[in-house]
Chain A
């Protein structure tokens, strides 16, 4: 029996290692490719050990860009992506927490119909409403701008729902105590509701930042200038070459760089997130 236990444990470990390898190997290959000489990759003689061109490739990627296709430094693309992801995440949180506040704490005509309207927009992602959204953004002269990149993505039914559910768990007595303490609606929101929502906001920020960072279709449509393109678009453009060789080390380096901010956000926010969870008590 003991032997069988040991055997089973090995099987479990082997399966887990296979899983990890499937996920991690492509990332590793991307990293290795980003440190090799392009000619070597093109010949199909790429080694599975990191090459010696790390600094040179990454310097060129971040500050210069490819010599053929987009010619845009990836550093600039990352800045564009960062601004867009931040505006989308922060904007979504701000808009949805305010609309959830209105829906939960105020009684106004058509409150429930409005709530259901917001709810229904869950079924209308950007891809579905892309033509009218593009038309509006174009008419407002927001093509090739940060506003055009982020504003249409800011309204969020999911986040509104999440905050609504959270607000409904906040005891009514807190609102009543605030009223007796002389806090109006804005003060209650600012002094009580926002601090209590900190954990929720942190969790949402992680999800929404990654969502904003990974946007592909929308930036593809509304950015035409090279200096406004996001990193996701940049990678795609770099790979398409007419006659010349695709500069694989640079493409791979860009892919690796594109992974870093989401990873950083997850790692950084995770701590705050867990601390918030431990501290929260209603």
Chain B
């Protein structure tokens, strides 16, 4: 049981590339922290620094009240689940789980109890004598989890553990991991690029971009009040629609209430198709260009009548002038039809012109 605190953590590689540019995160005891961001944002590097697999070039990493910057991975009391599982191919499932315990000089009887208990929890009891290659992807993933559990560490570290599984299994394992973590109540740090995984698993969500933290907080709070346009477009699927406020159509509707905001964001799910313009809200005229029906909901892709966006394109963002509208059910306008969509005032997100700051108006 332990807190994990990162204080102004930095990583500069020889050659000068700055992978982590000063990160502050505080993960409370038993909490599930998810690091999310596009590839190359430094989330895996940060996790590996907590594990002790990468050196720390600045700041402090504190596990359970002890600064561990110089401590060997084995002595940090952590366990890690790797993306490719990193099971020892020549050892049986039992030995894979027991290896770390044997290296610590634990008694065989105790090892046996722990491994069998973990195998029971993970439904691996029937496969303890098999080699990793005789297991399916999901089973290998569970063995990797088992290897972490038997250690009874202070902290679990997960490095995209589900990305090698197929979509169905991924959802099932996601739920499993969350249940297991709740039951064992072990502080966990989990890296993923999948925003859905991040939203569903996290107690604390850390959105990273370019080696920096964009926003830290409760997942729903981040969804409701994204701090930057990057977070706004990264969290939530399909991504938030972002438009420049100086576009004539929007400017006239927002009037002075936009303050010094330069970018307006509206989530696809906050639009309704209507001819009215709600007071203080925004209405847009769209020409329907594409429709995606997924059963419970339908996504309408429309082009705005007036388009001349100069919003910097960040990952997950729409091309300028294109708007996604999510409507429930399968009823949708025809392609080429002109529609008018509107969002109420409380659903508008306003950001500074460079997208780096949320503007409350």
Contacts and interface: CB of A to CB of B under 8 A. Distances in A.
Contacts of B104: 182
Sort chain B's interface into a size bin.
20 to 34
A220 interface: no
A144 to B, nearest CB: 43
Contacts of B53: 176, 179-180
Contacts of B51: 176, 180
B103 A182 contact: yes
B33 interface: no
B89 interface: yes
B201 to A, nearest CB: 22
A180 B147 CA distance: 11
Contacts of B103: 181-183, 187
Contacts of A191: 88, 99
A176 B83 CA distance: 12
B90 A171 contact: no
Given A177-B80, A180-B74, A191-B99, A282 B89 contact: yes
Given A176-B53, A195-B90, A281-B89, A181 B78 contact: no
A180 B99 contact: no
Interface in A187-217: 187, 191-192, 195-196
Given A176-B53, A182-B74, A171 B84 contact: yes
Contacts of B238: none
Contact of B88 (A176, A179, A192): A192
Nearest to B99: A181
A68 B104 CA distance: 66
A196 B73 contact: no
Interface in B173-224: none
Interface string B63-102: 0000000001110001110111111111000000001100
A243 interface: no
A174 interface: yes
Interface in A233-272: none
A191 B102 CA distance: 12
Interface string B98-127: 011001100000000000000000000000
B89 A180 contact: no
B114 to A, nearest CB: 14
B98 to A, nearest CB: 10
Contact of A174 (B52, B79, B86, B147): B86
A173 interface: yes
Nearest to A192: B88
B72 A173 contact: no
B74 A173 contact: no
A238 B295 CA distance: 91
A180 B88 contact: no
Given A177-B80, A179-B53, A181-B74, A196 B90 contact: yes
B251 interface: no
Given A176-B53, A183-B103, A196 B74 contact: no
A171 B87 CA distance: 10
28 contacts: A171-B84, A171-B86, A173-B84, A173-B85, A174-B86, A176-B51, A176-B73, A176-B80, A176-B82, A176-B86, A177-B80, A177-B82, A177-B86, A177-B147, A179-B52, A179-B53, A180-B52, A180-B53, A180-B73, A180-B78, A180-B100, A191-B88, A191-B99, A196-B90, A281-B89, A281-B132, A281-B133, A282-B89
Across the A-B interface, give the 10 residue pairs with the lowest CB-CB distance, nearest first.
A181-B100, A173-B86, A182-B74, A182-B103, A177-B86, A195-B90, A281-B133, A173-B82, A179-B73, A180-B73
